[in-house]
A and B are shown apart, each in its own frame.
Chain A
């Protein structure tokens, strides 16, 4: 099965993309969808597709790639199956950074929006450093202390975020839905704003498979095998945090995708990070797209934030992984 893993993941992504484009408050059947895509559809269908559905689908897919890719990287980097941008607090840190930028001046201007991911990146780097330093025992961060430190720093960042949001009253409702993982409808601008950061971050992550494989043997062996452990760790931590920050900037804090997707890929296709990171990037996009479709249809015509869907599906999965980890005696 692992030989065709990339093909399978690409096909799943294609299906998820079509579902996300077709399903919504106004459904676009496949023929209308294709018509609108090639420029021969009705005006209404074209307008829905190009102005609403497609930007949202692309933003959701990009967010998913970021969550899946950074999740797999954090797990490999910390040698910890429970590491995930949400659980170790990086997402909340990035969220705080983004909200600080937004509260200074809610980013209506193009350049204002481009600055949001940068602020989120700053927040993400700061949190991951603090959490890792708090969680470290010797040279690794054991699952328990990592999650504990992550939860503590995460709630600290979240309360600061809420405080800042309460102060910007007019935007409160929008901010709340943003925080729970509802994308704001801003057309193509968010996509353009996060794309450069995502390309840089994801390229580094996708090329880091061999280094992550080496780190699974522990830092000492990795270095004896020729890896410059100190600098590789720094680069990967920065790249994963940049990727998380880009995802959080306009989609809010979406939990569990970065935890669940790498795990499923590992179960199905084996523990080789050269494959695992790429598969988690593709799988993250599919998983978040499907979650977003569910978010649109469950209470249709009303939408629920996608973060609620991923948490509902992901939290039981987290408990299942926790049990597996416990049985393997890793905690």
Chain B
């Protein structure tokens, strides 16, 4: 569904992504993990077109979108940002309507179908009852779901998410990750999400990609990527990895405080 080939991105003279190739399949949740500054957010920004690509190609849904206009790209790829800095006076309904942007004419007119799609998106993530509330009044978990609804209203086959669990408490973390998994497995979306928590990544994703210093270090099932010999050197501290007693996936524990 999303095919990234030999992607290079640079800020000034510094290469932040080097020869990144990645496949994201239909109906799959792929967790992007890696230390701070490894280029995870840069990858999401490059794929969504907000920073230029130095070399390489991005295909979405069999189309080369590397040099497409924002509108064309927004019909293939939707981004769920972190739920900070939303315009507080906007209503939930207004916010989710923004997802229909790539389908509007220059007058910005909304059809009945657009409104139906927005209603469905609100229902899908269970925030329809909030639609007349202002975004500024929402809790972090609610705001994150509204942003997910906005991405769904974009009707794209591909979703990119930048740390959807950041700033959320345990219950909301679990509920949003459940929702994401259902969207991939039941609705067939291809979802790439950045996660910091390796154990959440192990539990809720189908595959993991480990990014280190702008390069993909490992990609595969949790059992193939979350290996002490890979994770330890990449994050720069010794780790102990066991099989989780409930679901059998790897469970990572840091052994030692790193010397700074």
Chain A residues in contact with chain B, CB under 8 A? 207, 209-211, 213-214, 216-221, 223-229, 266, 270-272, 274
Contacts and interface: CB of A to CB of B under 8 A. Distances in A.
B98 A214 contact: yes
A226 B73 contact: yes
B85 A218 contact: yes
6 residue pairs, one from A and one from B, having the closest CB atoms = A210-B108, A226-B74, A226-B102, A271-B89, A216-B87, A226-B71
B70 A223 contact: yes
B78 interface: yes
Contacts of A229: 70
A217 B102 CA distance: 16
Interface string B80-93: 01000111011100
A225 B50 contact: no
Interface in B37-53: 45, 48-50
29 contacts: A207-B107, A207-B108, A209-B108, A210-B101, A210-B108, A211-B108, A213-B94, A214-B98, A216-B87, A217-B98, A220-B45, A220-B50, A220-B81, A224-B48, A224-B49, A224-B70, A224-B77, A224-B79, A225-B74, A225-B98, A226-B73, A226-B74, A227-B101, A228-B69, A228-B70, A266-B89, A270-B89, A272-B90, A274-B108
B154 interface: yes
Contacts of B107: 207
B240 to A, nearest CB: 38
Interface string B3-27: 0000000000000000000000000
Contact of B94 (A224, A228, A272): A272
Contacts, number: 69
Contacts of A220: 45, 50, 81
Contacts of B77: 224
A225 B81 contact: no
Contacts of A221: 79, 81
B196 interface: no
Interface of B: 45, 48-50, 69-71, 73-75, 77-79, 81, 85-87, 89-91, 94, 98-99, 101-102, 104, 106-108, 150, 154
Contacts of B89: 266, 270-271
Main secondary structure of the interface of A (DSSP, over half): helix
Contact of B74 (A209, A224, A266): A224
Contacts of B101: 210, 214, 225-227
Contacts of A209: 108
Nearest to A232: B70
Contacts of B73: 226
A211 B70 CA distance: 13
A226 to B, nearest CB: 3
Contacts of A218: 85
Given A223-B70, A225-B154, A226-B74, 15 more contacts: A210-B104, A210-B108, A214-B101, A224-B48, A224-B50, A224-B70, A224-B79, A224-B81, A225-B98, A225-B99, A226-B71, A226-B102, A226-B154, A227-B101, A229-B70
Contacts of B150: 225
Nearest to B45: A220
Contacts of B48: 223-224
A220 B84 CA distance: 13
A124 to B, nearest CB: 25
B49 A216 contact: no
Given A223-B49, A227-B70, A216 B90 contact: yes
Contacts of B71: 226-228
B48, B71, B86, B98: which has the most chain A beta carbons within 10 Å? B98
